[in-house]
C-alpha cells in the first residue's frame, strides 16, 4: 500500500520516515533541492580509443559547476579500463560494475549523495551549457524527469493497442533517460516497487528501461516529463565499429518498445503517461537580440 504526503502525493511505506529523500518533500515545505548533481553514464562499448564519444562527454559534464561527481556504470563484456585510461577531470570519477543488466542504471547507489541524477548514455552529445540549463530547470521541478530527447505514445484504434512513436513533434509524453535529470528517490521505487517481471523483461531485451522509468514517474506525479531547449536534436553516434549491430538500427528494437508500452500499461492497470507540449527555453532563446545579452549563447551557435 502507498502512503499519502500532504498534497495527496504518494510514497512507499518503507520510506515514509525519510522525507528528505522524497522529491515531493521540497514541494510541500518550500525547501529547494540540492545545488549539485551526480552524473551516471551507462557504458556498454569497450574503450578502444581516446576519441570515443564518452571521452568528450566526460569533459563536457565535468566542466559543469553543478557537477559533484561522475559515475560510469560499466556494462560491457570486457573488463573496465584502469583509472589511468580515463581523462583527468575536476570532479571525482567512479567506475562501477553494471553487472551486465540494463536495469542496473536505476539501482540505488550509495555513492550517489546528491538529490539530482543526470542519466546519460555513453554516446550522448551535449554542451556544458545545455547540462547547466537543464539542471536549473530540474531544481524547479524535482519530482519530474527533465531532459532532451522526447518520445510519445498514442492509442491505435485499429489494433486496439497503445503505440509508440519517435517522430519529432511538439507533443510528447516521454523524455528518454539517455539524457535526463531525475531525483535519486526514483531509483528506490524502480527497484523496490516495480515487479521483478517488468525488470526482467527490460534486462532480457536490453530495451525499454527508459520507458518504464517514465511510466513510474508519471504514475507517481500524474504529470508529464519536461523537455528543455537543445541545439537541434538528441544525437546518437555510431560506435567505432560502425552502426552494424547497434540496437536502434534493428527494427525489432522499435517493435519491442511498442510491446513494452502495452505490457507496462497492463501492469499499471491504466496509461499513466501524460501528453505535453510544454518546453522550457533560456531567456531570449532564439530572440533577435545581441548574443551578448544571452546567458546560454552556445545553444544557438551549434
Q: What is the CATH number of the domain that holds 125?
A: 3.90.550.10
**The dihedral formed by the CA atoms of 134, 178, 257 and 265, expressed in degrees to the nearest 10:** -50
Q: Is residue 26 part of a domain?
A: no
Q: Which long-range contacts (CB under 8 A, 24 or more apart) does 81-89 make?
A: 81/47, 85/47, 86/58, 87/50, 87/55, 87/58, 87/59, 89/58, 89/59, 89/62
Q: Is residue 219 part of a domain?
A: yes
Please give the residue range of the domain that contains residue 222: 36-301
Q: Is residue 5 part of a domain?
A: no
| Count of domains observed in the chain | 1
Whole-number CA gyration radius for the chain: 19
Q: Is residue 23 part of a domain?
A: no
The three cell numbers locating residue 85:
585510461
Q: Is residue 61 part of a domain?
A: yes
Q: Check if 287 is active-site.
A: no
What pLDDT score was predicted for residue 296? 55
Q: Is residue 27 part of a domain?
A: no
3 state DSSP class of 276? strand
Please pick, among 97, 123, 210, 298, the residue that the annotation labels catalytic. Answer: 210
For the chain, 302 residues long, the average pLDDT of each consecutive 10-residue run is 41 44 61 88 89 93 97 91 88 90 93 95 93 94 93 95 90 96 93 94 95 96 90 44 48 91 97 92 51 55 54
Q: Is residue 9 part of a domain?
A: no
Number of alpha carbons in the 13 Å side-chain half-sphere of residue 302: 17
pTM of structure:
0.84
Q: Is residue 4 part of a domain?
A: no
Amino acid at each position: 500500500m502507498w502512503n499519502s504526503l500532504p498534497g495527496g502525493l504518494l510514497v512507499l511505506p518503507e520510506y515514509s520516515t525519510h522525507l528528505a529523500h522524497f522529491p515531493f518533500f521540497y514541494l510541500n515545505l518550500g525547501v529547494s533541492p540540492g545545488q549539485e548533481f551526480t552524473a551516471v553514464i551507462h557504458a556498454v562499448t569497450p574503450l578502444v580509443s581516446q576519441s570515443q564519444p564518452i571521452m568528450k562527454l566526460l569533459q563536457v559534464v565535468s566542466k559543469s559547476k553543478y557537477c559533484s561527481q561522475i559515475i560510469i556504470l560499466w556494462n560491457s563484456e570486457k573488463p573496465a579500463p584502469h583509472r589511468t585510461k580515463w581523462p583527468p577531470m575536476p570532479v571525482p570519477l567512479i567506475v562501477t560494475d553494471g553487472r551486465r543488466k540494463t536495469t542496473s542504471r536505476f539501482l540505488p547507489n550509495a555513492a550517489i549523495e546528491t538529490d539530482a541524477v543526470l542519466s546519460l548514455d555513453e554516446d550522448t552529445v551535449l554542451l556544458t551549457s545545455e547540462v547547466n540549463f537543464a539542471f536549473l530547470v530540474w531544481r524547479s521541478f524535482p519530482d519530474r524527469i527533465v531532459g532532451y530527447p522526447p518520445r510519445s505514445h498514442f492509442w491505435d484504434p485499429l489494433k486496439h493497442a497503445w503505440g509508440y512513436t519517435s517522430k519529432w513533434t511538439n507533443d510528447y509524453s516521454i523524455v528518454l533517460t539517455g539524457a535526463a535529470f531525475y531525483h535519486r528517490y526514483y531509483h528506490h521505487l524502480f527497484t523496490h516497487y516495480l515487479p521483478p517481471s517488468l525488470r526482467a523483461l527490460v534486462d532480457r531485451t536490453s530495451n525499454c528501461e527508459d520507458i518504464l522509468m517514465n511510466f513510474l514517474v508519471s504514475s507517481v506525479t500524474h504529470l508529464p516529463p519536461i523537455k528543455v531547449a537543445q541545439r537541434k536534436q538528441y544525437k546518437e553516434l555510431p560506435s567505432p565499429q560502425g552502426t552494424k549491430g547497434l540496437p536502434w538500427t534493428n527494427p525489432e528494437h522499435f517493435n519491442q518498445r511498442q510491446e513494452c508500452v502495452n505490457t507496462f500499461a497492463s501492469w499499471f492497470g491504466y496509461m499513466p503517461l501524460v501528453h505535453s507540449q510544454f518546453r522550457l527555453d533560456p531567456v531570449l532563446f532564439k530572440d533577435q537580440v545581441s548574443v551578448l545579452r544571452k546567458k546560454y549563447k552556445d545553444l544557438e551557435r551549434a
